[in-house]
Chains A and B, each alone.
Chain A
Amino acid sequence: MSEETADTPEGRWPLVEGAVALAVALWALGFQVWLPSTHVAESDYQAVAQVLAKEALPGDVVLLHPWWTERARIYVPEGLPVVGHLFSDSDDLVQHPRIWVLDQPRLPRNDEGGFEQKFLPSRTKTGDARDFGNLRLTLFTNGRYRPLAFSARALLPQLSVYLEGPDGSRQSCPWTGALHRCPNGKVVAAEWHEVHFQPRPCLRFDPPGGATKLVVELPPVPAADEVVLHTGYTWERAAYKDGVTGSEVGLEVNGRVAPLSVPAGVEALWTVQQPGAPEGAKVRAWVQAQNPHARELCLEVYGYRRAP
């Protein structure tokens, strides 16, 4: 082995190196010059906002593609929900009959095909896509839509909330005008929380510990064809493995229980369903965890009717 080199390149390798380096350099140069042309002008966002302000109907939603293009939130008219999160391409958006897809098709790695594969089933395009610079706005009717019969969050002031001991004894969590405050100091309130990277408008629902359950009981509900409970630990708490226990969750409709175990250390949004609830049914949801440490749950209960 000599100390230093006096190289003589061999064969065609140097030509290959030169050609590859040159080709990649020219491609990279093209990319760098092109990339700023994918930016969205403010005027284009404003034009989209004007269309939405004029044409959007109550119950509509704006879905972002790619999911992270949340600059749109600044411009979309207040009151029109904007959905864009890690899993939003496959979100059923079940409460929205119409979906405005706000796309940026020129962005690198936009993956239109992947998006369409997840988004298009049961959706029908309504009219033509409209381009505003680098933005593309397309309206879809949502075949996955289910009319909402009731929502626990919307009924917050009328909810009956209490701690229920293993012997059936109850301690009420009275309504304060803004939230339900329990004797153990914890509250049940309507809040935004992250569950598995998704923004969820839900009830804050913290198990009291031991065998005691935190229970929420809805007032007599309108008839629903399906009752659905979504839950999960908020933020990073789902990832905790040490010093925590799992939680037991239940969804009761007229005494019929659908149980759900929410394990520790698994980051997910958990769902349990009941086949339906007749008019005036008694709907309860509860949570219990042996160790209440870091067991902050975000709980949603919805009653859905069949799509028209």
Chain B
Amino acid sequence: MGTQPAATSGAKEPGSGATSDARLDRRIGWALFAAGFIALLLTEQPVGFVRDESVYFHAAESHARWFQLLLSSPSQAFTDAAIVRAFDFNHEHPALMKNLFGLSYVLLHEKLGLLRPAAAFRVPAFAFAALLLPLIYALTRRLFGRAAAIFAAVSFFLVPRQFFNAHLSCFDVPVATMWTLVVYAFFRAQTEKRWWLYTGLAFGLAIATKHNAFFLPVVLAPFSLVRGWRASKGQPKARELFLWINGVYLFAGVLFLAMAAALGVQRVQAGYGVLNPQVAIILGAGVAAGALTWQLGKENEGAFRAMAPLVAMAALGPVIFYLHWPYLWHEPVNRTAWYLAFHLTHNHYAWFYLGELLRGPPFPLSYVVVKTALTVPTSLFVPMALGFGWVCWRTWKRKVTLLEVLVLVNAVASIAIISQPQVPHFGGVKHWFPSMPFLAVLAGGALARGAWGLAQWLAPRWKGATERRVFVALAVACALPALIATARIYEFGTSAYSELAGGLPGAASLGMQRQFWANNLTGVLPWINANARPGERLYLHENHGGQVRDYQRNGMLRSDLVIVGSPAEADLVAYQYHQEFREHEFMTWQAFGTTRPVYGLYLDETPQVVIYRRQR
């Protein structure tokens, strides 16, 4: 037993040891990726299709048809009419993930017949989710050692809502992956060559994944500015270049504001073309900042490494965003403006929280933190909180490292953004998923220190209590309850609640949203398939036509059943319990002349999907 924790030692060793260490880390990273991917593939089938996912399936298939057109008739494919036909549907989200979902579907289902349609669509989502594990490993490894890193990585999948979301052809887990990748690249760019370029590329892909990533520059810029300022201290030429780079962006921003004030936003927006002042400002700023950064690299490597990732993000991000999404090719500005406006003015959906139905802002400031505490398994949440406290304390004591601060800030960033009371609060926890990998890193650190502390205390009392054994015991103890919870409920992931909440029954008594996104229907589909009369009229509350299509084409719902739009038209109703939709259940009572269901999905006794049959 040493005097400092082996698990927390992050210092790199010199010589061949470092090389073999790196090799081992790479192997562990690949193993985590493979294990994560296989785990998702093997557990995919029971996961129902959430409302959004069926929309993305449809959009993905449409994108894939365009790629097929691109191969067969490129000149036609490049026309705006062909692009709009393929990409107009669901253009409120960028195309990267949907392109991948669609291509995967064509290859793995249509061409090779290896997977059912849903699984084929979902494979890219599995890959993105699995990639998160080595990324968490890599970050934690640098801070807290190998064992902590493995725990941190695995723990991300032991949060039932995260494991559930990792299955979906949606964007919430992929953007968490891309966010983490950008931060990882940004960190490495501070000390290693070329990583400034990777940061820019990763950022471009991140904003092509989901709009959360637009906040990344806001989160990372302060690091660049502080480090650039410090690195250029005492070097007038480097300081001058540093200030000029900032001045270029500031000046470009002022010019845009002045144009908007003078001409009006509409005119500036409508006036984009190949050669006009707006484009000139953007290109000019990019070229000037790039050239200045290049000059800075010759003067001061530290300042260059601080600024180059940010400049690369500013330059490459918009280019990749534009190039990846054919929908923007003919109408870049108006369509981007529409896309951004859509998310800036998003609807508020009703959301049940602590016995109150929240219908609109202002939302409680504590909502995100409380919801996280009530949904992340407590045996993982507490280490996250301890790890967070530890880094805060080190920050206070000015002992903190760059990576620790990066992890801390990114653990807080998405949570802080969504906590803003005017931001839409529906969607459970998925909107602040980009915080969760960083909280997992902090949890890994807490476990490593905790194991060391316990081993120190136990060693005089029990010789077998080595740090490694104590760590394994502690990690298993923390992981096991989360694993049990995940195994029990992951397929109904939007219903998962932590021990702190009292599980799902405790959450129901607390007055929390019991489910959303309508995928819990899978819990009653076997009963419907077995008990519905041939050709019976079925009302699937909260499920739209796309979901019905997907259940039927994946063999999960009988195709002879007639899907109708209301209880009044139905013989059989599957009502999804939502506090905001009670009227739909009572409409069923009214239509069927009974208040007595015939079957239901009751998770830990909580009603989720309730089936009524018309009395004959």
Binding site for B on A (CB under 8 A): 1-9, 12-22, 24-29, 31-33, 35-36, 38-40, 66, 68-71, 73-74, 76, 78, 81-82, 85-86, 104, 107-111, 191-194, 197, 199, 234-236, 239, 267
A288 CB, nearest partner CB in chain B, Å: 24
Query: Which listed residue (A8, A36, A197) contacts B582, Cβ 8 A?
Result: A197
Q: Mark B455-469, 1 if CB is under 8 A from A, else 0.
A: 011000000000000
Instruction: Please indicate the chain A residues that have their CB under 8 angstroms from the CB of B427 in the complex.
Output: none
Q: Are B144 and A7 in contact (CB under 8 A)?
A: yes
Q: Are A4 and B386 in contact (CB under 8 A)?
A: no
B291 sits at the interface (CB 8 A): no
Stretch at the interface among B110-118, B257-265, B502-510: B502-510
A69 to B602, CA, bound (A): 9
B451 sits at the interface (CB 8 A): yes
Instruction: Please indicate the chain B residues that have their CB under 8 angstroms from the CB of A2 in the complex.
Output: 401-402
Which residues 566-616 in B have Cβ within 8 Å of A in the complex?
579-580, 582-583, 585-587, 589-590, 594-600, 602, 604-607, 610
| Chain B residue at minimal CB-CB distance from A189 | B590
Given contacts A31-B499, A36-B604, A199-B586, 6 further A-B contacts (CB under 8 A): A3-B191, A13-B390, A68-B606, A107-B506, A192-B586, A197-B579
Q: Is the interface of A mostly helix, strand, loop or mixed?
A: mixed
Q: Mark B501-531, 1 if CB is under 8 A from A, else 0.
A: 1110110111100000000000000000000
Q: How large is the interface on B (under 10, 10 to 19, 20 to 34, 35 or more residues)?
A: 35 or more
Query: Which listed residue (B10, B485, B605) contacts A107, Cβ 8 A?
Result: B605
Which residues 357-389 in B have Cβ within 8 Å of A in the complex?
357, 359, 377-379, 382-383, 386
A69 to B600, CA, bound (A): 12
Q: Are A13 and B589 in contact (CB under 8 A)?
A: no
Instruction: Please indicate the chain B residues that have their CB under 8 angstroms from the CB of A3 in the complex.
Output: 190-191, 401-403
Q: A17-B390, A29-B481, A76-B596 are in contact. Are A6 and B9 (CB under 8 A)?
A: yes
B313 CB, nearest partner CB in chain A, Å: 20
B405 sits at the interface (CB 8 A): yes
Binding site for A on B (CB under 8 A): 4-5, 8-12, 142-144, 190-191, 350, 355, 357, 359, 377-379, 382-383, 386, 390, 400-405, 446-447, 449-454, 456-457, 470, 474, 477-478, 480-482, 484-485, 488, 499, 501-503, 505-506, 508-511, 579-580, 582-583, 585-587, 589-590, 594-600, 602, 604-607, 610
Instruction: Please indicate the chain A residues that have their CB under 8 angstroms from the CB of B594 in the complex.
Output: 78
A169 CB, nearest partner CB in chain B, Å: 33
A26 to B378, CA, bound (A): 10
Instruction: Please indicate the chain A residues that have their CB under 8 angstroms from the CB of B589 in the complex.
Output: 192, 199
A82 to B594, CA, bound (A): 12
B500 CB, nearest partner CB in chain A, Å: 9
Instruction: Please indicate the chain A residues that have their CB under 8 angstroms from the CB of B607 in the complex.
Output: 68, 70-71
Q: Are A66 and B590 in contact (CB under 8 A)?
A: no
Instruction: Please indicate the chain B residues that have their CB under 8 angstroms from the CB of A86 in the complex.
Output: 355, 511, 579
Q: A31-B481, A108-B506 are in contact. Are A38 and B454 (CB under 8 A)?
A: no
Closest 10 interchain pairs by CB?
A: A14-B453, A18-B450, A108-B502, A15-B453, A18-B454, A235-B583, A28-B481, A25-B477, A17-B450, A109-B506
